[in-house]
Structure 1
């Protein structure tokens, strides 16, 4: 059962990476099958659910794993049982209360999201709250025993089942000729089935495992009072801190529709265009989201041991990794915006908006990473305040910029907010620990990414890709991605953007390089 920390970190990172890639890529076939209006409704409603879900469960697995790990060291089976039961009661209470609240106020919430077209989707997806919080308890329980495999497998299982049924229901409902609102509501059933599949797997794993708590002492109200306070104290700041990206998308869902409607735009279709860019940016941000999982305990442990040198080294390596992955991703998406739009979504609609959203990928990645680093430094509450401050700025910018510039105003507000969020996080980090913001080859990495972007963009000055077939454009995109990867790698070596030690760490080919 017991794994080393590095094994556990690797398992959970790979699973998180895989599940997030699956959860991002499916948006492309969803748009292709159901169209921009259905995809727009999905893009409006889903962030609301994700924000509520994050608030209700994000910190529970970490809180449970921490508390159960401590109880295990003390050999106290009663405490383990009490922590598990209390967490389960809290999770089910939160989930049920939030589900009932969303259903009761679904009409008012749908009005905030742009109209009645969002109501059915909102009600259906909110039913996942009856399952997901309880599922999070089991993940935290196994993590408390240093077993990351159930969490990892359940994450992948949830996404595979969810995506399969989303696309299946989209195909069936479109073929049956239902309207866009019903189709969007139908695909949301996939989220319920995905969470349910994950819960069934975890429950069976728990029932058959040898880590079930065994005690003859009855669970009491006093136990609930004691452990609920402890769990909430640990989990709530983490929940708010984990809202960084979810909260910004939530703000868009409740502010953008009303502003688009005010200037006479079709809300669902326009939001569908904006959602195209978000689908690709989320793929680029996957590395940042996966990286923070093992980073948080590493930094927390280094600080607890008073090893500031190790803390600085971990922070600098994480920042360097983010430079190496986010800059080429953002610049590559930027220069290939038009062919990507044609190849993946079938036309060039809102390409100017998508281009700005693609640029924001680099700052979104850094915002997610630095928020996680602050949590590792035990500054969860301060991190939460920063996220809330950035959210207020997002509201103001959305209202002003959409009224002035239309849909592209949403993209500009997203870019500005993530720049501000990143800068704010870095300022707090610099006051807390000593680390080099630049000086580890970051500028050389940026130059390599810009050079790669120039090479990839050059053919589009010579050829009009908009006149090609969709299949031809897709082949062109794949070819340019391959060329870009090779050019970026060569420029990194030429500009010495990576050190010998960093090259050696690359799996398989590192030592040869």
Structure 2
């Protein structure tokens, strides 16, 4: 009888496991779409409104980005874990209502702080023209509880569709409004601050559209009169503490790059003015510096999108206490993340002047952008290590690393800008991320360190990347000399450079046996490349 029951329960567990993996892949795909949209719209925005207009938008963007990180990826992760640990339907709804109430109080306070504190914040940024933009962004705080609880509750039941749909709908509508506003601003000659305020309003329209997706959920949540008795584990104070400790850590680490950008908003423009630049010149150069943001986002998308699909496998191995599977998945996760981030960084640095010209119309600030691109390597490694630590329910180390890195940026960024201009700000971002990585590295379990340092992976990766960079740089330079200056020529040089870089790196990776068979299969087209390699060796 027991054997029959066990046998009958096996298909059910299999379906749940398959549903969880499919849901994770759906969520990863939606996140990829959102990230790509979020990176690409900045390019036409900068081309339409110029460096100063881009500066105005980017000064306030980190405030929006942090709020959306809380509502989209930070708090929903914590809430989903909270809901998943509860078996009774009535208790789930009661807990969800309490979390919603706690977040509503927090969001109300945050809205008041941003809306009424906008003059103080804008003054601290060195530009009081930003006041209306900050006040528009403050409205995002009011949508955060509804979005976070709706997404978190659905994910806790392993239903990723509402989160995926709301994420894509929000980004598509927001980006569409921003591009339309930028076109109107350019054609109607709006002042840059009016353009910025209307562009930021796209976030509010996007949030409303995303919240509409969860209307059926809230109708069900508040349409039921539950009389469930909650245990002490779900007291108001206990939930608030867990939201602050666990949820807060997840949120802050998800917004690590945005926190560093927020420090830039308060220090770069002011530092440039202190160094002797005019207000107009400082705003324009800060806009040039902000060109790095879409490049970094695209680099991180490449570096983390494929490795993120391995996290459910790692969590399953950890829950099953299968040590060999844990180590294998850890190694694959870290190798893929490091290799993709190092390759993307090297390619961006080698081709930076051409990429800058192609995307933004000039080569101004190429050195600062190339330096900034080094942060892709550290940011992707930090993201990967933090995801692993979260799978192990370790939060304190991540929080310590985050505080150390942000503190380093906050303490030294202003003086670095005064002394070295926007190059100094780029170096401080890289150094701050390096500080975070070192803290995580020193405090992480031995198996996480061995996943990177074990074997000859680092040496092989260094050789493959160096050969790729030299060959790509040489061909790009020769082609640039032949074609001459101009944006059209730069497009051709960039396309050829990317193709040459990819082919060279893949060839070197196969020749040096950089990846294991399992790691190749994780990458797109990896199975086909392995077949080619086997055929070549047999011949």
TM over 0.5: yes
Residue deviations 1:317-354, cap 9 Å, x none? 11101122111100110011111111110011111111
Matches within 5 A, 1:203-282: 203-204=215-216, 206=217, 214-217=224-227, 224=236, 227-265=239-277, 266-282=281-297
Matched, 1:328 2:338: no
Greater mean deviation of Cα atoms: 312-321 or 385-394: 312-321
Paired residues of 1:288 and 1:368 also in contact (CA < 8 A): no
Separation of aligned partners in 2, 1:6 and 1:122: 39
- Residue number in structure 2 paired with 1:109: 121
Alignment-derived partner of residue 483 in structure 1: 500
2:275–2:419 contact (8 Å) kept in structure 1:
no
SS of the equivalent of 1:498 reads coil
Query: Aligned to 1:347, what secondary structure does the other structure show?
Result: coil
Structure 1 length-normalised TM: 0.91
1:389 paired with 2:389, answer no
Distance 1:492 1:299, change over 3 A: closer
* Alpha-carbon distance, 1:443 to partner: 2.3
Greater shift in the superposed pair: 472-481 or 44-53 = 44-53
| Partner residue, 1:442 | 458
CA distance in 2, matches of 1:367, 1:199: 31
Residues 1:376 and 2:386 aligned together: no
Following TM superposition, by how much is the alpha carbon of 1:375 offset from its aligned partner in structure 2, in angstroms? Answer: 2.4
Aligned ranges for residues 164-175 of structure 1 at < 5 Å? 164-175=176-187
Aligned pairs for 1:305-320 (under 5 A) are: 305-320=320-335
TM-score norm. by structure 2 comes to 0.87
Does 1 or 2 have the higher relative contact order (CA < 8 Å, sep 6+)? 1
Within a 5 Å distance, the mapping from 1:6-405 to structure 2 comes to 6-54=21-69, 59-71=74-86, 74=87, 76-204=88-216, 206=217, 214-217=224-227, 224=236, 227-265=239-277, 266-290=281-305, 299=314, 302-405=317-420
Matches within 5 A, 1:409-448: 409-431=424-446, 435-438=450-453, 439=455, 441-448=457-464
Report which stretch shifted further, 31-40 or 484-493. Answer: 484-493
CA RMSD of aligned residues (A): 2.8
For the pair shown, which has the larger CA radius of gyration, 1 or 2? 2
Quote how far apart the aligned CAs of 1:202 are.
2.6
Alpha carbons of 1:153 and 1:241: their partners in 2 closer, same or farther (altered >3 Å)?
same
Match 1:457 to one of 473, 484, 508: 473
Shift of 1:255: 2.2
Long gaps (5+) in structure 1? none
In structure 1, what is the Cα distance between the partners aligned to 2:433 and 2:505? 25
Q: CA deviation at 1:60?
A: 2.3
Does the C-alpha gap of structure 1 residues 146 and 56 become closer, same or farther in structure 2, counting only changes over 3 Å? closer
Q: Report SS of the residue matched to 2:444.
A: helix
**SS of the residue aligned with 1:468?**
coil
CA shift, 1:306, in A, is: 3.8
Distance 1:82 1:319 in 2: 39
* d(CA) in 2 for partners of 1:291, 1:5: 17
**1:215-251 deviation per Cα after TM superposition (whole angstroms, max 9, x unaligned):** 5428999964564445445312322333322221222
- Distance in 2 between residues matched to 1:466 and 1:189, nearest whole Å: 43
Shift of 1:146: 0.5
